[in-house]
Chains A and B, each alone.
Chain A
Amino acid sequence: MKNLDSVFAAYLIGWGVFFAFYLSIAKRTSDLRADVERLKGSFSRSK
C-alpha cells in the first residue's frame, strides 16, 4: 500500500477544508440571527 498516507492526507485535508468552510457559514449565520433578535428587541423596547 505505497503512498496510502498521502492519499489519506489529501482526502482528509480536502474534506476538512469543505467542513471548516461550512462551519464558518453556520457560525456567521448564527451570529447574524442573534444580531437580528437583538436589533428587533431594541426596536420593541424603544416603542
Chain B
Amino acid sequence: MAKRIILGAASVLLVIAAAYAAFYVAPEERTMGLIQRIFYFHAATAWAGFTAFLVCFIGNLLYVWKREPKYDWLGVSSAEVGLACITIVLITGPIWAHPVWGIWWTWDARLTSTFVLWLLYVSYLLLRTLIEEPERRALLSAVFGIFAFLDVPLVYGSIRWWRTQHPSPVIMGGQGSGLDPTMKKVFFFSVLAMHILVAFLIVERYALEKLKSEVDILRREAEAQ
C-alpha cells in the first residue's frame, strides 16, 4: 500500500512538473506559437497509451500461454488505462488542430488508425461484459486483445509510410526531422511523467481486478451454502 501511495504521489508531482516545464522551460515554437505547447501533453500521453497497450498485449499473450488469471487482470487493467490515454489524445489532437489546420478532424491515415485503435479497445472491454464465464471471457478477450494490438504499429508507422495531414514525426523521424534541444528535454521529461502516471493507474486498476476476483469467489461460496 505504501508503495502505491509513493507511486501516486510521484506521478502527480511529475505531471505537475512536466506541465510547468511545457509552459515555462520549453521555448515558444516559431510558427504555431502558444498552441504548440499542447504537443508535450498530447504526444507524451499517446506514447504512454501505446506502452499501456503493449503491457496489455504481453498480458494477453501470457494468458493464452499460461492461463493464469493474473495475466487476464493485467490485460484488462492496462487496456482501460491505454483507452483513457487514447481518449485524451483524440480530444487534445483536434483542439490543437483547429487553430493550426483550420479543421477539427480529417480522415487521414494517422487520425483514422488512432480512432480505429480507440474503437478496438472499446470493443475489447465491451466483449468482456458480454461473457459470463471467467475462463472463457479471459481467453476470448486475450485473443481479441492480441489482434487489437496490431493497430499500434500501424498508428506509429502511419505518418512515416503515408502522406498525412498530421505532421511528420519530429522524434525518430529520420533526416530533416528533429526538435530544439530544450524542447526535446521537456518532451522526454513529459513522456517519463506520463509513464509513471500510467504505471500508477495500471497498479491501481490491477488491485481492483484482483479484488473483483476475490468477491466472485466469495459470491460463489455464498451461493453454494
Contacts and interface: CB of A to CB of B under 8 A. Distances in A.
By DSSP majority rule, is chain B's interface helix, strand, loop, or mixed?
Answer: helix
Interface in A17-39: 17-18, 21-22, 25, 28-29, 32-33, 35-36, 39
A13 B94 CA distance: 12
B225 A2 contact: no
B195 interface: no
Given A2-B33, A3-B99, A17 B38 contact: no
A18 B215 contact: no
A35 B215 contact: yes
B208 A14 contact: no
Interface in B193-225: 197, 201, 204-205, 207-208, 211-212, 214-215, 218-219, 221-222, 225
B206 to A, nearest CB: 10
8 contacts: A2-B34, A3-B35, A10-B38, A18-B197, A22-B204, A25-B201, A25-B205, A36-B218
Please name the 6 residue pairs, one residue from A and one from B, whose CB atoms are nearest each other, closest first.
Answer: A3-B35, A39-B218, A10-B92, A10-B95, A21-B84, A14-B88
Given A6-B95, A7-B37, A36-B214, 6 more contacts: A11-B38, A11-B41, A13-B95, A17-B88, A40-B218, A42-B222
